[in-house]
Chains A and B, each alone.
Chain A
Amino acid sequence: QSVLTQPPSTSGTPGQRVTISCSGGSSNLGSYTVNWYQQLPGTAPRLLMYSNNQRPSGVPDRFSGSKSGTSASLSISGLQSDDEAEYFCAAWDDSLQGFVFGTGTVVIVL
């Protein structure tokens, strides 16, 4: 079961900026950093952001992340058609002693 809450979808036109929120609690986002994954249709998730705002090699700087308290966000600037995907946040959870994932947000490029 997802413990982190995300909006089901968001949309924007090419070139716009969209932001995805992720809300958790004291045992996860309140105590640990957030990671973000991008899942293109029919493919495995890919790590997009880790430790709140660190981009793995190969991830463009159009993607940025932040965290404050028990909430986090991922922003995509200069939206492109190949950004259409589902995005999941994730964090370690002390109560579970495992990872919890967000409910997922589908980004639609209009």
Chain B
Amino acid sequence: SQQGEEDPQALSIQEGENATMNCSYKTSINNLQWYRQNSGRGLVHLILIRSNEREKHSGRLRVTLDTSKKSSSLLITASRAADTASYFCATAGQAGTALIFGKGTTLSVSS
């Protein structure tokens, strides 16, 4: 069964606006990761947050993690048309366990 569930399924915004995507998961984790997928391509790792961290930044990305609610959010600030893609969260347990993905959020940024 899939561990992460992203919300919303689809998001449409204008360039310059912020985009927020949420992820909920079911079991305890070692870390949570966010990936981007451009149409028909492989996934690219964006950012990883450990279970003992609450917030992390990387450029225009901000990730939060609330382990008590088993949820995470990805904020993309000042969105650009090039940010149009699908975004997935993935959870990882201890070493030797699987990396489990959710169904993803499709972000469309129009200029």
Q: Do A and B bind each other?
A: no
B residues in contact (CB < 8 Å) with A: none
A residues in contact (CB < 8 Å) with B: none
